[in-house]
Amino acid sequence: MAFHAAVPNTIGHLGSLLEAFLPWLGLAVPILLLLALLRRSATALVALSLPIAVWAQLFGGPFLPGVRGAHDMTVLQHNVSDENADPAGTAKALTDARPELIALEELTPAALPRYESALASAYAYHAVQGSVGLWSKYPLTDVRVLDIKPKGIDASWSRGLRSSVRTPWGEIAVYVAHLPSVRVRLNGFDSVYRDESAELLGVALAAEELNTVILLGDLNATVDDRGLAPLTAHMNLPPRDFAFSWPAAFPVSRIDQIMTRSATVTDVRTLPATGSDHLPITAGIKLAP
């Protein structure tokens, strides 16, 4: 847990695979505790204090008493799934959270008009590029395609957009991205396309001229995954928590992300399941100094 970055990625991307489920390594502690008790070993019990301390340091923050941080706006990220049978119901569930910005991925040509219709009354501004979209209560300008397509993928693949948003706190840049999926195969963890797409996204973020940036997307990676290093190097990470978003039936990981630059994510939480295999996530964003 403490030195996961030292696990090599040269064979089957095992380092990235480990980092995708890093908090779950803590499950080894109760197993080892049971063995220590069965053996009545005081030495083993003392030794267990080390992994317990490491896990508490890395992931114990959400269990400490606290309240939701003060924030200026709320944003929402959701991969709605291209197999979602209830776009209208999904859209209503998202608007009930009253975010100022909504980012959606896996928008299909058939479902898009239903999302547009369901969100129109609450969100006067929206933009769609390929299979990703952004809905906003504030005006959108300078909307353009975000080219994060890896080599070797079909030319019609389009999963990124960039837009300026005119907010009461000034103009900010909002990026919506859906990085390629990863697969566990016989030869290891296949994340080549995702990693290449993350590099392209990192280049775009580094070149962004506006000072304040919000990144919303299904990045198919946790913030611990070294595959996201090209973009996390330019962004502030959200606080650690257990707002796992995937799979919706039994969430074990958060691969949907909300990150910022020159702004702060005060908290992240999940919403109830929709017709997607992902859970929606919302975050409070502190924009004002």
Dihedral of the CA atoms 18, 3, 233, 139 (nearest 10)?
50
Helix ranges restricted to H, the chain: 14-20, 28-39, 42-47, 49-59, 87-95, 112-119, 192-207, 229-232
Is the peptide bond preceding residue 239 cis, with omega within 30 degrees of 0? no
Q: Are residues 267 and 235 in the same domain?
A: yes
Q: Are residues 20 and 119 in the same domain?
A: no
2 domain residue, yes or no = no
Q: Which two tokens stand for residue 3?
A: 């030195």
Alpha carbon distance 210, 174 (integer Å): 10
Q: Of the candidates 69, 71, 93, 62, which has an alpha carbon nearest to the alpha carbon of residue 80?
A: 93
Instruction: Specify whether the backbone of 218 is left (phi greater than 0), alpha (psi in -120 to 50) or beta.
Output: beta
pLDDT of residue 289: 64
Q: Are residues 20 and 103 in the same domain?
A: no
pLDDT of residue 76: 98
134 domain residue, yes or no = yes
Q: Which two tokens stand for residue 289?
A: 């100094």
249 domain residue, yes or no = yes
SS3 237: coil
- Total domains, the chain: 2
Q: How far is CA 263 from CA 102, 164, 206, in A?
A: 17, 15, 16
Domain that holds residue 37: 12-63
Cβ atoms 74, 281 nearer than 8 A: no
7 domain residue, yes or no = no
Q: Are residues 84 and 226 in the same domain?
A: yes
Q: 158-180 burial string, b = 16+ CB within 10 Å, else e?
A: bbbbbbbbebebeebbbbbbbbb
Residue written as tokens 């080219």?
Answer: 147
Q: Give just the sign of the alpha carbon dihedral 200, 130, 283, 80.
A: negative
Regarding beta strands 125-129 and 132-136, do their DSSP bridges make them parallel or antiparallel, or are they unpaired?
antiparallel
pLDDT of residue 62: 65
155 domain residue, yes or no = yes
Q: Are residues 59 and 95 in the same domain?
A: no
Query: What's the CATH code of the domain at 150?
Result: 3.60.10.10
pLDDT of residue 27: 85
Which segments in the chain show pLDDT lower than 50?
none
Alpha carbon distance 198, 202 (integer Å): 6
Q: Are residues 35 and 167 in the same domain?
A: no
Q: Which two tokens stand for residue 31?
A: 């197993």
